[in-house]
Structure 1
């Protein structure tokens, strides 16, 4: 060793401390001079004496006087002193200024000549102290977290839980037990699934399993949780994995009651769905069907909507008639009965609800409905479906009850809540304008159809001939259209057939159609002349009376001249050609006698044509609604008509017409009118000459 400059030989062999792994130093004399220091000491403290170290390191320490007097105490008493984990803050030879921790041992030593000295042995314990403090901090943090967890679990709105890496619950949760009533034994592992709504157990288990397999950073899920009182509420569950490296140690999570938020979100969602369902619909039945599909299954398990016609006798002791228009039922339940028209007496709950103008609600034990809560036929369904509640919600449109919604919940499902009853009412309130338009449309369409039928005559009874007529209004138009047909007998015994179409789908078109049809009838009976000339005179009359109108028309006479053979005298003004179907099943269009539509060429010539008619043949006149389709050439529609009519040659005439309508009408935007006449199939010499109009045996038509 190399001694300090003022070092005297001690004779103690201090060199033995040179290889020591700890710091060793010796001080002597009153001035506490440094007599000896090994390499470890010098590498840390340099040439500082013990006094210098104390004054520099502990000058700001609350126990600085204690540290200052340690060496003096050892010299005075001869007792050794040990200081553990002392914080020494100074500029070190190897690192510069910082705080480090040392354990010091001070003892008395005799130097040469009997001079007392102090032997210092020091070992740095910074790493141990730091590690211990970290462990202590972690323990304290864990203690506090555990305390917070326990407190939150006992008083908070959230449920806190811990699961192992496999997803099984491993710690009791006071908040879960308080909320659900499940004990720790019932809750642990996968027992928590038993507290969920039966319909939510499997989906929740599958979602949790997927989260465990994927180790998602945050798992979020919503389910219905059964509370202590047996009611279900929606909870949001959130969980995160606790990792050590890449390995999952456990999962921690919360369950939060979100019933109010869920109800608000669902309410808006259902209102939006109801609005979307009625946005582009004009037909009332389709609109009500769309609304029942929103109600079932989200709000109820079964639903019937009745239409209630306006009637002044609703008040007092009068009964109410209603018509079931649509119904819906949740899959798995019995089908609702088709009731149709039903009458409710004055004392029925249905009638009272109409008069009160506000909903009526009834809850009852499963499958045991109160008498009178449903119309005849529906009560049996409530029993078989194990219904537990029924609500009647009047639908008020333009100040009057236009419909009634009857909804029911069944089985384990909770009875309809007041909030859901209000939501059903709000759905129909928000749909008021579309419903009002649809109801008005429906009423107008029915009035229009009745008016249209009143303008179209029944075919007359003509000996030897069968005559049938059909009219189908446009499904897309509420107003009456301009299609017409007519059939009447002339004084000479011939039968006049006509069919036509005035442009337009409104009441003026129907009025014009009626007037032109009557005018044509008058012109036809006024004089005997070719049918083309009759159309020419009609065209002249239209120039004066209906200058802005355009009309297509076919006018035909079914006549039997003196030779006894039937024939068709016809003229076509811009209209689809007549179809002739022979008794042998051949079908072809009659293409002669054609001229432009009426109202375009004034006082122009109108051609006529004559077509022989063989026994058993059928002549069909029709409007373009039977053959036209949007975006398609009319020739394809004519081919379809011919191909469908030919195999029907031997069908009864009524069936012939019905099957053509069924096979060709496609719900387009145009009306369809058609009139057909079939000749007798009996040989001609067995027939008497035609009788004057109004006489002779009746025929089927």
Structure 2
């Protein structure tokens, strides 16, 4: 149809859109289709537009008609019609299109009206739903432009939204998150076919602190290509805090009952890099806080962690410092304090060891914050956290979050402190009773005790040596089940009872009888429910040999290092159960003749047991080490054998060596005595057993 050809209005009779035609300078209504009559009401044809549409809100419509006819350019405008007062109907929404046309009556304008009420209501409902579940909803476009559907940016940041995801937007994103956010955005634009993209980052809020938000972007496809994304951004700070707490508690559970250093090692690897760029824990070396006036206070590095992209952190060596007044103020006030650093500047002396000062300067630290560390009102030390490079210094919200994190650590710290107190008490008990062996003519003795490395492994190991008036030597080794203060107390009681029974029953009493009487007393007094022990008696014979008689109550067998043969275990012919396992049973005594130069070792299971290895493997390691170091003096031999322990359990050892027959005088060494002995010919070895009470 030519542009000058008159418009055939019959084309619009059955269309869904409302259509009306106006001609002449007065815009007389010359056509109205059925849809228009339903939408706007039937109007008399031939009347000027102002008479055909006398409604008060039709003025803008008349102005648009005048403009379209005068300029020849089409116009479109929305309109809202409110219902009559008292009407149950909701407001109606329309979009009008006014286009210049040529009709049979001359030049004029065609008006097309569409009812968009359903679409507008649907959008309002969507916005309401989105507002209920998310803080912000956006339309994101490939060119970087963005439009807020559900506002929230200004409320979060204090700044109005400027309409683009550009460099101005990223200034509000935490520096550590900008690279990842840009990477996720490029990935979102490059994927074909597109997929839903989820990302989390921190946004700077109006008060200068940062909050975690999560964004989920859904692609919108038109014509086979992605034209935009609908993105819902939600404030997840509370959820993130809860996840951080669970993450921290999970790490702490792995070191439950460990040392303070182990607990804080778990802490620093949670706060770095989630909260800070670097963290070092300084623990006070003294037990008293506040210290006496004019007393220097020292602290040592216990744990540290740094962000991966920073220079390697210094090792935990040479890590002690005399704290300065700034640290004292933090500890006395129990309030965190931030120190801002100049570019390339160093932290004030007395905060951290010099090696850490140098590291902070090399890493371009911009601030350090001191946090007091406490448990049960006991001042343990302080944490030094750092912001590095372009990371912002912590604000009040960040400092409060770290305070809460360190507060979460208090329960496991209390447990660790309780264990340390119990461990110190147990060690004092053990060391008070594990005295140096006595001097024994014609023989050497040495003993060793090594506590477990873990704070929750106190142990109940003991050794003892008693010399009767006739020169008979009694040796004991034992281990009470359990790894707590109760086990240590039971150990002290059993050791004392066994020593008393051995003395009161005299040098001729069989070891099996002594153990049976110990078992009866322990059962009657309810001292220990389960313990192992070896009770041995050594008596020198006229020909210079030693008669070694022992009874074993479920304990690892004695180790014999013959002067001229390979080491082996003295297992005896019968295996008696531990003490208090089968009360009233008859126990067995065993006898072996020791030649000059022979060595007997009594030890606890911590020397040979390891979680990942069998007991046989542990015994083979002991045999090999004993063969290698058999010629060493007894104290040196015990030091070498102690190296076999993995330090998970306490270990006690006591050894006896018959002086060689051709030796002169033997001087006492550390942990044992070597009095003089006379030369005596060797005698044949005999091993016997005897059962009795």
2:228 matched to 1:251?
Answer: yes
What do residues 263-303 of structure 1 show as CA deviations (whole Å, max 9, x unaligned)?
A: 44433332232233324512233222211111111122222
What do residues 163-201 of structure 1 show as CA deviations (whole Å, max 9, x unaligned)?
A: 5xxx4548999x99x9999999xx999998899766545
- Unpaired segments ≥5 residues, structure 2: 12-29, 50-100, 124-134, 678-693
Report the structure, 1 or 2, having the larger helix content. Answer: 1
- Residues 373 and 390 of structure 1 are in contact (CA less than 8 Å); yes or no, is this contact kept in structure 2? no
1:182-201 equivalences under 5 Å are 199-200=176-177
2:561 matched to 1:581?
Answer: yes
- Counterpart Cα distance in 1 of 2:353 and 2:512: 59
- Corresponding residue of 1:484: 462
User: Partner of 2:644: helix, strand, or coil?
Assistant: helix
- Counterpart Cα distance in 2 of 1:696 and 1:56: 130
- Corresponding residue of 1:430: 408
What do residues 520-556 of structure 1 show as CA deviations (whole Å, max 9, x unaligned)?
A: 445545676446x254145336535752456533233
- Residues 512 and 587 of structure 2 are in contact (CA less than 8 Å); yes or no, is this contact kept in structure 1? no
- Corresponding residue of 1:674: 653
- Counterpart Cα distance in 2 of 1:188 and 1:631: 56
- Unpaired segments ≥5 residues, structure 1: 1-20, 25-39, 41-52, 68-101, 107-121, 146-156
How many residue pairs get matched? 562
Q: CA deviation at 1:456?
A: 0.8
Q: Which of structures 1 and 2 has the bigger CA Rg? A: 1
Residue 390 of structure 1, aligned match among 352, 368, 377: 368
Q: CA deviation at 1:219?
A: 4.4
- Residues 349 and 372 of structure 1 are in contact (CA less than 8 Å); yes or no, is this contact kept in structure 2? no
- Residues 307 and 404 of structure 1 are in contact (CA less than 8 Å); yes or no, is this contact kept in structure 2? yes
* Structure 1 residues 539 and 196: CA distance shift in structure 2, 3 A: closer
- Corresponding residue of 2:477: 499
User: Partner of 2:305: helix, strand, or coil?
Assistant: strand
* Structure 1 residues 665 and 310: CA distance shift in structure 2, 3 A: closer
- Counterpart Cα distance in 1 of 2:613 and 2:213: 57
- Corresponding residue of 1:409: 387
Q: CA deviation at 1:609?
A: 0.6
What do residues 142-173 of structure 1 show as CA deviations (whole Å, max 9, x unaligned)?
A: xxx9xxxxxxxxxxx9898875xxx4548999
What do residues 316-369 of structure 1 show as CA deviations (whole Å, max 9, x unaligned)?
A: 544434343222222232424536774646x62112211112212211223314
Q: CA deviation at 1:675?
A: 1.6
- Counterpart Cα distance in 1 of 2:416 and 2:568: 43
2:398 matched to 1:381?
Answer: no
- Residues 365 and 389 of structure 2 are in contact (CA less than 8 Å); yes or no, is this contact kept in structure 1? yes
* Structure 1 residues 168 and 581: CA distance shift in structure 2, 3 A: farther
- Counterpart Cα distance in 2 of 1:188 and 1:294: 32
1:677-696 equivalences under 5 Å are 677-680=656-659, 684-687=661-664, 696=675
Flag the structure with more relative contact order, 1 or 2, with Cα contacts below 8 A and sequence separation at least 6. Answer: 2
- Residues 451 and 480 of structure 1 are in contact (CA less than 8 Å); yes or no, is this contact kept in structure 2? no
User: Partner of 1:403: helix, strand, or coil?
Assistant: strand
RMSD: 5.2
2:275 matched to 1:324?
Answer: no
What do residues 40-65 of structure 1 show as CA deviations (whole Å, max 9, x unaligned)?
A: 9xxxxxxxxxxxx9999999433346
- Counterpart Cα distance in 2 of 1:513 and 1:412: 59
What do residues 41-96 of structure 1 show as CA deviations (whole Å, max 9, x unaligned)?
A: xxxxxxxxxxxx999999943334699xxxxxxxxxxxxxxxxxxxxxxxxxxxxx
1:318-357 equivalences under 5 Å are 318-331=295-308, 332-336=310-314, 338=316, 342=320, 344=322, 348-357=325-334
- Counterpart Cα distance in 2 of 1:489 and 1:416: 68
Q: CA deviation at 1:426?
A: 0.8
User: Partner of 2:332: helix, strand, or coil?
Assistant: helix
- Counterpart Cα distance in 2 of 1:613 and 1:274: 60
1:458-469 equivalences under 5 Å are 458-462=436-440, 465-469=443-447
- Corresponding residue of 1:610: 592
Residue 621 of structure 1, aligned match among 596, 602, 616: 602
Q: CA deviation at 1:578?
A: 0.8
User: In terms of mean alpha carbon deviation, does 366-375 or 408-417 score higher?
Assistant: 366-375
- Corresponding residue of 1:553: 533
Residue 45 of structure 2, aligned match among 63, 76, 88: 63
